[in-house]
Amino acid sequence: MTNPLLASSGLPDYTAINPVLAEAAVRNQINDNRQALANLLTRGTPTFASFVVPFEAQQHRLNRVFAPLSHLNSVMSSDEVRAAHNSCLTLLTEYQTDIAQNSDLAEAYASILKQESDSLSVAQRRVIEHALTEFRLAGVNLPPATKMRFKEVMQELTALQAKFEEQVLDATQAWSLILDNAEQLRGLPEHVLVRSAALARERGHVGWVLTLDQPTYLAVITHGESRWLRETFYRAWVTRASDQTPSAPKFNNTNVMLDILKRRHEAAELLGFAHYADVSLATKMAPDATAVIKFLEELGTHYVPAARAELRALEAFAGQKLAAWDMPYYADKRLQAEHAVSEEALRPWFPLTTVLGGLFDIAHRLFGITITQKSEVAVWHPDARYYEVHAADHSVIGGFYTDLYARENKRGGAWMSEVVGRFNAGKERAYPVANLVCNFSPPSASAASLLTHRDVVTLFHEFGHTLHHLMTQVDYPSLAGINGVAWDAVELPSQLMENWAWEPSVLPLISGHIETGDPLPMDKLHALLGSRSFHAGLAAARQLEFAMIDFELHARRPPADDASLQQLIDGIRARVSAVQPPPYNRQAHSFTHIFSGGYAAGYYSYKWAEVLAADGFAAFTAAGVFDQRVAQRFLSEILSRGGVVNQMEAFIAFRGRQPDIAALLRQEGIAA
């Protein structure tokens, strides 16, 4: 039987993929890669064409073999998929560490840089320089015993990070609440009631079953009139995968977190760094840990006073002292009272199909691309779709899958991931393909999926990442799309894209009432726009809290135990949080961004990139949000360049100067 994942071209055949075949394909490709590298290293004098391009091809094939399995583990998790995925992670970590620690390979790259220095293109030179940095950060020059220990640490980290994410998913799915009293559900949106009643029938219960998926949690915490229900959900959410959880304590991530931090610190020391934050910053825009701390502290001088003033105003509105589980509920009430707008009330104007159509139209106006659904492409679930992207001359430049609804066995949150990277060198030709994943409320048998405006902004954000992947003109996969891009700049396209979801001229393009098709009325449009900076200080202070927790955990020796870990977190919250959480809050135990994602010692990059995005979008507002000159400059200097250029230099080339924090503070309604 032919293994579908070993096809060297085209899209993955998700209907033919099973975990056994996926694991076999990864093993097969790794073996092929090892043999191909051995052959390369025994040839004559290496050149970019004879050595680097074939090596890029090896890595490219392995990435496209593993990507579908990694994706299925996130969107269609099962015991079989998880087992195959984790087995492959072990193989990949061992292989990638072997590659990164291969001194012969590093010497070949260094030799090519020296011998062909005058003839290499800018992209080719950057491919080699990027690889040499990766070799150094993998310990290629370490003594043999130290190198071996580094390899062991990386394998242990891979397993720990996978376990962390699995336990967050398992803990989330292990919790549910069965209710048979309609009074306890007062205030919840109709779509939540319909879905929870259907789930109760499926599980053989009378009444409603509420689960801990993100749409349900947000609906309860924002609209539930029962304070008991809000606190119950809040406690379940912030204690997931911890020792404080009301259910499933077997998924406690405490020791996993401590072990991750210890392994990261050990890896940093093995490489000669003081702490893991220095390792992380070696490939970021921020020059050092001092610069990051200074950046976060400067933000704190603006955000913390604003957040605490907003809290005082909200408590005055509510007429009482507010707990953490009261904040979203009363914030929504105040938003309606002062701005005559409610996220839930706006849902009828944002059917998902209408929003998508408008989003694709925006991309066409800005960059001349056309996006067309291809129904014949095999997908993993009936909810999934595939879209092909065409340039102005009708040529195919890439494609992307969407999977936009929450369901069981699917990771929470929203993200973009790579399916295939762009490759255009030697005999290799591949256009970029991405996954765009969200967790919106799904349609029911009788109603379409309707989005809140917050959902719309999320969709625009992930589409910005998708454009970054698709619009690349870099021919080498290691630097194409978001690959090789400094992590504190990778959020620039996504956060900049969010701004179009707030533009008065754009909102009619992405809205249409589910019954009449009419765009968002002017009164609601102006109310929505007026609400943009509502509680901006509270939202920013929360992001600042997450960024500081992340950075302080990685910029010092790791905490020895749970008590010292929580002491560090509580100290940060005391400094920057407007609302002090209850003692049982263990939100860090489900902080997948830093413990199992790519944001370790890098969560600050959200605010860092927000500064870039706000200042960058100011160029559009000054010229017109669909101005072709600005759009083409953004495309040519940012979107298309991937990791080939220094990201600060790219921003300056686009904007004409260094970024200015004042643009973000103005956008958020916070005085500089």
Which residues are catalytically annotated?
A: 462
**Residues facing 428 on adjacent strands:** 425
Residue with tokens 């080719």: 124
> Cα 255 to chain center, whole Å?
25
Q: How long a stretch of residues is the chain?
A: 672
**Residues facing 434 on adjacent strands:** 400, 418
Q: What is the spatial order of strands in the sheet that 415-420 belongs to?
A: 370-373, 385-390, 396-405, 433-440, 415-420
- Pick the closest to residue 283 from 456, 134, 87 (CA basis): 134
Per the structure block, which two tokens stand in for 406? 């929450």
- Cβ burial, residue 131 (10 Å; 0-12/13-18/19+): buried
**Residues facing 450 on adjacent strands:** 351
Asked whether 178 and 207 are in contact (CB, 8 A), the reply is yes
Kindly list the distances between the CA atom of residue 240 and the CA atoms of 10, 164, 169, 218, 229, in Å, as whole numbers in the listed order.
40, 11, 9, 15, 17
Q: Tell me, what DSSP letter sits at residue 519?
A: P
Q: DSSP letters of 619-643? A: HHHHH-TT-HHHHHHHIIIIITTTT
Beta-carbon-side half-sphere exposure of residue 507 (alpha carbons within 13 Å): 18
- Pick the closest to residue 211 from 227, 181, 182, 232 (CA basis): 232
Give me the sign of the Cα torsion angle 73, 76, 77, 79: negative
Cα(321)–Cα(311) distance, integer angstroms: 10
597 C-beta neighbours (distance < 10 Å), count: 16
> Cα 620 to chain center, whole Å?
25
Per the structure block, which two tokens stand in for 486? 């400094």
Instruction: Tell me the helices (H) and strands (E) count for the chain, helix number first.
Output: 26, 9
Cα(386)–Cα(401) distance, integer angstroms: 4
